[in-house]
Structure 1
Amino acid sequence: MLKKISYILLLFVQVSFANVTLPALFSDHMVLQQNDDVKFWGWANPNEEVVIKASWSEIAYKIKANNQAYWEIKIKTPSAGGPYIIKINGYNEIILKDVLIGEVWLCSGQSNMEMSAAWGIKNGDKEVEKANHPTIRFFTVSKSSATSPQNDLYGNWEVCSPETMKNSSAVAYYFAQRLQEDLKDVPLGLMVSAWGGTPAEIWMPEEVIEEDNVLKEAASKLQPVEWGPTEPARAFNSMINPLIGYNIAGTLWYQGEANVGASKYDKTLEALIKSWRAKGENDFPFYYVQIAPFDYGKDHSGGVEIRDAQRKVLDKVSNVGMVVISDVSPTDDIHPKDKKPVGIRLANLALADHYKTYFKEVNGPLYKGISIKNKNVIVHFDNAEGLYFTNKKTSLFEIAGKDKIYHTAKVRLKKNEITIFSKEVKSPKYVRFSWGNTSVSNLFNKVNLPASSFTTE
């Protein structure tokens, strides 16, 4: 009888004094968003009081776990700095060390976002040698999939060193480096959640796809592959949902190659952006990379159609930006090795649009509209100051009438205005530029950034 009572008491103690636990995101070396009310959350015994004290403040934040053993609370952060210590006390104590306050960016997509120096990027060995940046931190999410939304994941914060940088996202690293040039070494936290070869649909909440017939039809056409999931929401559930709530400055996205062949990618990307913002209750900036020209096959134009769909999203969603990289990417490699200009161009977007510290042009020429005058078509561009062609002998402009049969156009460039025409088209109606999977733009502006492919259809 005494043994039975002792067993019951021991069981009662174990249940009553459950340890406070935290998601993997909250660990040593973490970076928290500066000047913000950042959310902390975790688990504890129901009604257990959790007390949080950060070394940058005298305030003791207190919260009790609910009947689901869950708690969350917002903590006010100071301006960039550190390192700090954060103590979390319940029946046990957790001490988070070497915590920095700065700017946090979520970096997601497929292999070109995942790609590290270890993959053999341009000048990778030299970059690795000098990658001692203790105020840059990586949280690289391990690959996993789930059929329902998860509340935790696998990963840990790491200080940027030659050893850690070598196996971390190169695009994210170059982005952080460039930001720190203008933001005066403000700490950078890079949460990298990427999976090579994956379509956008697996990175979206399932209900977003199920409730939209266009998205649902697109998702139904995805075929299984051996290197990752293609079912809706599988990566979102396990690699994005657990990150939601962690305060961020913005998101970087490099994906699209796995959706080549899709006809409504602009709708898909638009839905993805809006769903992430809705889940996080934050209209954060979303900057993405237009996929590079690549030979996907001569019997279709699926690659350039994705590039054009990405361009269209600029007009459909607020607070977004796109970088064009056709000038730094060979057409025979789906994994362009020169990641530095990609990261720098993304950073320049953020510095210009979000941080307001960079005042030069950060976008290449973008199609704005056309004016038709008899047989001539005037093509209007935004970001058009200093327009020039790198190859004046080759025209990448094509023109068509209502029959949609395209002919190479002759081009006149004068005072940043482009006029095109073709003897074969007496009544022009449609225009397209650099229209081909491997077509590389030859039109640039004064800051030497290339124009995006486009079609007026």
Structure 2
Amino acid sequence: MLNLNPLLTDNVVLQAEKNHLINGITDPHLQVSLTIGEIVLSETSDSKGAFIFTVPPQPYGMIDRMRIETKNDAKEVIVQYGDVFLFAGQSNMEYTMALEVHYSEELTQVKQDNIFFHVVPKPEFELELEKESFGTWEQLGSDNLGTLSAVAYYAMKEHRKSYPDRIIGIVVCSKGGTSASCWVSEADLSEDAVLNEQILAPFVETTKGKEKQSFDTEFATYLATYQAYIKKRAKWVKDHPELTLGQIKEQIGHSPWPPPANPYLFNRPGGLYQKMFKRITPFTFSSVIWYQGEEDTMIGSVYGHLLKRLILRWRKELMEQIPFYLVQLPICKDKPQHDWASVRQAQAQAVQKYKDIFLITSLDCGEVEDIHPTEKAILGQRIGEILDKVYYASAPVARVSSWHDTTLVITVDQAASLKLLEVSAIQSDGTIEKIAVEGSQLIIEGNVHNISYAWENAPVVALFNEVGYPVCPFNFERC
């Protein structure tokens, strides 16, 4: 027996100019050898048969055949060295080019070059995956553009501008409708008192003592309701083109989501950590781009705890302090009880709390009444620019420089100058007499104790830096 990491198939892109990991499973306590070009390495599998090689850095553009063998078996894989990125999260990361508004135009422009992608197989509803379902590496072209994450495509299209000769690898590990609690281990949730109380313990209490047949019956009832709603909404969209999606939802209600608690479904705590992410680790990436949080607006106050656990867990499994690029949630009206502002706040705070975390603001990339914006080019381009530090290494974030008497000075980092399109977008608990923009600062005069910007689900987006990146929402209170 010799099984390699599911990402290690022909045309896999390995990260160049960096130590990188090659792993797999064989029989216990067996000598395993690896050969790439002139590199020859040897390891012994552990008591469970696991083995990991650390391969020294290789140059960009190198293409070779990797051979891994034991005394009983051997595997050969064509490998190539370039930049490889992990794009992960929920539905807006999963959202494919076939659904994106510019797809037809991009289809005429895309050419088969050195961009390769691998979409990690995901469950539909039932958590179990077929054992043979591992996915493959595909070379990007017009025949498969529609199957690739739109955000990932546009980000790497931008990356290509900075490095036109590099091989680029994209790994997409995403699933719509998922809380961050699906992407960490149950141990992570149980070890955090807040997450255990808010997420894991209620799930355990709701599901304990029930047989699988009971779960199956409950889910079948839910699925019928869900499918009937989707069919009804599609008919309303067709019959009432004059109505927005939000207006249609006011007539027929929101979709019945999420499914009832069920240990056999993909959205159970820890489910996709086990069935998707852990299957492809360890693997060496340039960075992780994480676009998720919509599902957790229902529990926005604990999202900071979830994000911390996810970053720590993924770095542990990837065996390095890999850079994380967090896409901050865009605008969306959503249900009133959902708290998008708190999720955005947690995403911004992560940049301050943990090393090598970067923020990408996307307030201007959302649609007020649709949680799935059809336009992904602007956000994707922005991700690519920030990955390559074309203008800035992270999004513009505000801080209080001084607050004396009736004068408040707010400085925006990652900005040389600011554009404030609507003064009324800056809100307070008192009377604002004047707002002036001076370089990267807002000078606010007035008798106020609280000042905020974009601190709601679907705010007016009116504050940008000079390159057009929206400033991160802020909410400052005078001590």
Which band: TM-score by shorter chain? 0.7 to 0.9
Cα pair 1:244 1:280 within 8 Å, conserved: yes
> Unaligned stretches of 5+ in structure 1?
1-18, 353-357, 401-405
Cα pair 1:327 1:440 within 8 Å, conserved: no
Hey, what's the Cα distance between the residues in 2 that align with 1:269 and 1:339?
Answer: 24
> Unaligned stretches of 5+ in structure 2?
207-256
Aligned to 1:25: 7
| Alpha-carbon offset, residue 53 of structure 1 | 2.0
Which of 411, 417, 428 pairs up with 2:435? 411
| Alpha-carbon offset, residue 152 of structure 1 | 9.8
Change (3 A) 1:410 1:151: farther
Change (3 A) 1:290 1:429: same
1:132-147 to structure 2, matched below 5 A, reads: 132-144=111-123
In the comparison of the two structures, how many residue pairs are matched?
416
Normalized per residue, the structure richer in helix is 2
Aligned to 2:403: 372
Q: Deviations over 1:23-71 (max 9, x none)?
A: 32211111111123322222334454433222xx223333344443333
Change (3 A) 1:67 1:327: closer
Which of 426, 443, 453 pairs up with 1:433? 453
Aligned to 2:275: 238
| Alpha-carbon offset, residue 233 of structure 1 | 1.2
Q: Deviations over 1:184-204 (max 9, x none)?
A: 321121111100010111111
Does residue 52 (structure 1) correspond to residue 34 (structure 2)? The answer is: yes
Q: Percent identity?
A: 24
Hey, what's the Cα distance between the residues in 2 that align with 1:413 and 1:70?
Answer: 59
| Alpha-carbon offset, residue 366 of structure 1 | 1.3
Change (3 A) 1:71 1:331: same
Cα pair 1:215 1:268 within 8 Å, conserved: yes
Larger Rg over CA atoms: 1
Which of 89, 92, 96 pairs up with 2:77? 96
| Alpha-carbon offset, residue 76 of structure 1 | 2.8
Hey, what's the Cα distance between the residues in 2 that align with 1:72 and 1:152?
Answer: 22
Which of 408, 413, 420 pairs up with 1:382? 413
1:125-204 to structure 2, matched below 5 A, reads: 125-144=104-123, 154-204=134-184
Aligned to 2:356: 319
SS at match of 1:436: coil
Cα RMSD of the aligned pairs, angstroms, is: 2.8
Hey, what's the Cα distance between the residues in 1 that align with 2:17 and 2:393?
Answer: 27
Which of 240, 243, 258 pairs up with 1:225? 258
Amino acid of the structure 2 residue aligned with 1:51: S
| Alpha-carbon offset, residue 293 of structure 1 | 0.5
Q: Deviations over 1:268-322 (max 9, x none)?
A: 212211221123231111001111101113x446122222221222211111111
Does residue 303 (structure 1) correspond to residue 327 (structure 2)? The answer is: no
Aligned to 1:14: none
SS at match of 1:190: strand
Change (3 A) 1:378 1:58: closer
Aligned to 2:471: 451
Cα pair 2:117 2:140 within 8 Å, conserved: yes
Hey, what's the Cα distance between the residues in 2 that align with 1:444 and 1:175?
Answer: 20
Aligned to 1:399: 428
Change (3 A) 1:59 1:311: closer
Aligned to 2:60: 80
Change (3 A) 1:93 1:374: closer
Asked which structure has the greater RCO (Cα within 8 Å, sep 6+), the reply is 2
Change (3 A) 1:126 1:369: same
Hey, what's the Cα distance between the residues in 1 that align with 2:42 and 2:455?
Answer: 59
Which of 18, 25, 41 pairs up with 1:43? 25
Hey, what's the Cα distance between the residues in 2 that align with 1:104 and 1:152?
Answer: 24
What TM-score does the superposition give when structure 2 sets the normalisation length?
Answer: 0.79
Hey, what's the Cα distance between the residues in 1 that align with 2:411 and 2:303?
Answer: 25
Hey, what's the Cα distance between the residues in 2 that align with 1:51 and 1:318?
Answer: 35
What TM-score does the superposition give when structure 1 sets the normalisation length?
Answer: 0.83
Change (3 A) 1:414 1:53: closer
Cα pair 2:413 2:440 within 8 Å, conserved: no
Change (3 A) 1:374 1:37: closer
Hey, what's the Cα distance between the residues in 2 that align with 1:104 and 1:151?
Answer: 25
Hey, what's the Cα distance between the residues in 2 that align with 1:218 and 1:306?
Answer: 16
Hey, what's the Cα distance between the residues in 1 that align with 2:331 and 2:431?
Answer: 21
Does residue 291 (structure 1) correspond to residue 329 (structure 2)? The answer is: yes
